Amino acid sequence: MNIAIIGGSGFVGKNLINKLLPSEYITSIINIDKNVNSSHPSLTYQGNVLDVESLKQHLKGIDIVILLAAEHRDDVTPTSLYYDVNVQGMRNTLIAMEVNNVKRIVFTSSVAVYGLDKANPDESFPADPFNHYGISKWQAEQVLQEWYKDHEDWNINIIRPTVIFGEGNRGNVYNLLNQIASGKFMMIGKGNNQKSMSYIGNIVAFIQFLVENVKSGYNIYNYVDKPDFTTNDLVYHTGQILGTNIPAVKIPYALGMLGGYCFDVLAFLTRKKLSISSVRVKKFCAVTKYDSTKAMSSGFVPPYTMEEGLRRMLNAEFGK
């Protein structure tokens, strides 16, 4: 099997290549990205999902595409980049695949397609994204839906992961755990909101499972590692793992949102991207709980528990 990973120079891509390389099913792996994968530079080919001609060249002889490329930060400007990369990038990938007779794709979408504060949605839950990232991911899925109507011999696997954490990640979970571990953490709201999370070691193992085992049909999977910790749980487990007492100052949600709006104004006036915003406060306080029964009933067994994943990350990033 010859695999092309598009957008494999980021956090997930580096870990995925590490996971796939020893596989007996894989003949070759290439990474198509505008940036070089620092862990696997020899596998990286300069490319961009906005350049359909380069994709056509790089996908020659490929059996399956894993599409990771995405604009995903909360503060991307201009916002049209979400749609250029996430939606048009999907169209370009499919065109390049068809030219090269590649009929299998694994696409990492997002639980952001469901929106915030939903009641434990499964894959049949209606889409209701609230931001440009979620809307663009949903539109990319719709492109796949339409494509499959005329390409029913293709195998399309869509993963909707929740927020991903792990060693080496510098995203929202790292920032939260860093604040908790440093003792500078302030809880906004009561902290009882559940936060579905996914450990990187399990995500890449699930992608490998789909590549090796799910080879037909149009399939969608939420991916969440259970149990769903509350923010209070994260504070408690972080303290236990690091062996320290972590006080948490709690401020009311309304006051936290007011502070977020103030930072929005400051970011607008200074034209700088700040670590605090109203969107991030809203996401922090939201219930983000998702149903992953379908993935966990597929035959896949996560190699790590939630607590093991949290322990591995905390020890790697903040351990003494």
Q: Catalytic positions, please? A: 133
User: For position 236, what pLDDT does the model report?
Assistant: 85
Q: Tell me, what CATH number does 65's domain have?
A: 3.40.50.720
Which residue type is seen at 306? M
- Maximum alpha-carbon separation in the chain: 58
What is the per-residue pLDDT across 12-25, written as a single tens digit (0 to 9) for each? 999 999 999 978 88
Do 312 and 242 touch, CB atoms closer than 8 A?
A: no
Residue 236 lies in a domain: no
Residue 185 CA to residue 284 CA, distance in Å, equals 13
Neighbouring CB atoms inside 10 A of 311's CB total 18
Residue 104 lies in a domain: yes
Tell me whether residue 259 is in a domain. no
Give pLDDT < 50 ranges for the chain.
none
- Rounded to the nearest 10°, the torsion over CA 231, 125, 119, 258 is 60
- Asked, for residue 71, whether it belongs to a domain, the answer is yes
In the structure encoding, which two tokens stand for residue 191, read together? 């902290």
* Tokens 């250029």, residue located: 84
**Is 67 part of any domain?**
yes
Q: How far apart are CA 7 and CA 15, in angstroms?
A: 12
pLDDT digits (tens, 9 = 90+) for 24-40: 888 999 999 999 988 88
The answer as to whether 250 is a domain residue is no
3-state secondary structure the chain: CEEEEECCCCHHHHHHHHHHCCCCCCCEEEEEECCCCCCCHHHEEECCCCCHHHHHHHCCCCCEEEECCCCCCCCCCCCHHHHHHHHHHHHHHHHHHHHCCCCEEEEECCHHHHCCCCCCCCCCCCCCCCCHHHHHHHHHHHHHHHHHHCCCCCEEEEEEECEEECCCCCCHHHHHHHHHHHCCCEEECCCCCEEEEEEHHHHHHHHHHHHHHCCCEEEEEEECEEEEEEHHHHHHHHHHHHCCCCCCEEECHHHHHHHHHHHHHHHHHHCCCCCCCHHHHHHHHCCECCCCHHHHCCCCCCCCCHHHHHHHHHHHHHCC
Q: Name the residue with tokens 């505008």.
A: 34
182-241 confidence digits (pLDDT tens)? 777 778 888 888 889 999 999 999 999 999 999 999 999 999 999 888 888 888 888 888
Looking at residue 256, what is its pLDDT? 84
How many domains is the chain built from? Answer: 1
- Domain residues for 88? 2-167+199-224
On whether the CB atoms of residues 125 and 111 are closer than 8 A, the answer is no
What integer pLDDT is reported at residue 79 of this predicted model? Answer: 87
Tell whether 204 is covered by a domain: yes
Q: Is residue 89 part of a domain?
A: yes
